[in-house]
Structure formats: C-alpha cells, structure tokens
Amino acid sequence: MEKLAEVALLLDIYGGLLTPRQRDVLDLYYNYDLSLAEIAEMHNISRQGVYDLIKRGEQALYALDKKLNYYRRWTAFEDGINGVIQELECICKLPDESFAESPGEIKQRLMNIRQRLMDLGDTWIGRLEHGV
C-alpha cells in the first residue's frame, strides 16, 4: 500500500515530465486501479507491454526524485505540519483554567508553533529557490 501512495504522489509531482503514454498508463494503474489486461486493451498493446511501461515509468519517477528530492521534502513538510496540528489540538484540549493560571506557558507554546511554521516555510521556500 505504501508503494502505491508513493508512486501516485510521485506521478502527481513529476508526471508532466514522463511521456504521455507512460503518464497515462501509470495513472490508470496507480490512480484508477485498472489491471494490466484492462490497460492493455485500452492501449491496444500486450500486458507485457503495459508492465514494461509501468516499470520504465516508475524508474523514471524515482530517478527524477533522486535528483530533485521534492517527494522527500514534501513528506518532511507534511510531517512538520502534522506536528504543528497535533500541538494545537493539545492546546485546544487544555482546560480553561490552564489559560488563566499559566498564560505565559500557553503563549510560549504558541510562539514555538509560530517558529516551527516559519522554519517549515523558510526551509521549503529556501530549498525551492536554491534548487537544493
């Protein structure tokens, strides 16, 4: 299941850099869950031909990501955002007394969240601008 999601996301990111036929076959296979036989019939090629297109397309996607690293950066960005969301949910679950009894602690937690968001944004934008 993890490979399915990974290739589908790689296809979203880099699909425009594949040949139209590779992109279409991968889209049908990973996003629409069609079988090799169904795709072969649609494209009037053999199942082996479909299999070869899928494998070459996957190799191309992984090669592109190895050079550009957008998938790794995107997943790290998502993980960071999810961490911020969890921290905000923890703060929201605090009893009202906590806000009155220790406003400094709440403010510090919110400032930490703000900094984490700024770091995530700076890292993502900085990497994109510098092609790292």
The pLDDT tens digits for 32-42 are: 999 999 999 99
**Given 68, 91, 115, which residue is the final one in a domain?**
68
Domain count, the chain: 2
**What CATH number should be reported for the domain holding residue 60?**
1.10.10.10
> Residues 80, 102: one domain?
yes
Is the same domain home to 64 and 10? yes
Residue ranges with strand state E in 9-83:
none
**What b/e sequence results for 102-112 when a residue is b if at least 16 CB atoms lie within 10 Å of its CB, and e otherwise?**
eeeeeeebeee
Residue 132 confidence (pLDDT): 46
Asked if residue 61 and residue 78 are part of one domain, the reply reads no
52 vs 14, 32, 56, CA distance in Å?
A: 19, 18, 6
63 shares its domain with 19: yes
Residues 106 and 117 in one domain: yes
Alpha-carbon distance of 11 to 29, in angstroms, equals 11
User: Rounded CA gap, 122 and 132, in Å?
Assistant: 13
Do both 63 and 85 map to the same domain?
A: no
Spatial neighbors of 58 by CB under 8 A, at least 6 apart, are 7, 26
51: amino acid identity, one letter: Y
3-state helix, strand, coil in the chain (%, to 5): 85, 0, 15
Range of the domain at 11: 2-68
Could you report the per-residue pLDDT of 75-118, keeping only the tens digit for each?
Answer: 888 899 999 999 999 999 999 888 888 899 989 999 999 998 88
Q: Decide: 8 and 31 in contact? Cβ < 8 Å.
A: yes
Residues whose CB falls within 8 Å of the CB of residue 34, separated by 6 or more in sequence, listed in order: 28, 42
Which structure tokens are listed for 52?
């070869």
Question: Within this chain, do residues 103 and 58 fall inside the same structural domain, yes or no?
Answer: no
**Do 55 and 76 reside in the same domain of the chain?**
no
pTM: 0.67
Q: What is the pLDDT of residue 1?
A: 53
Residues 77 and 89 grouped into a single domain: yes
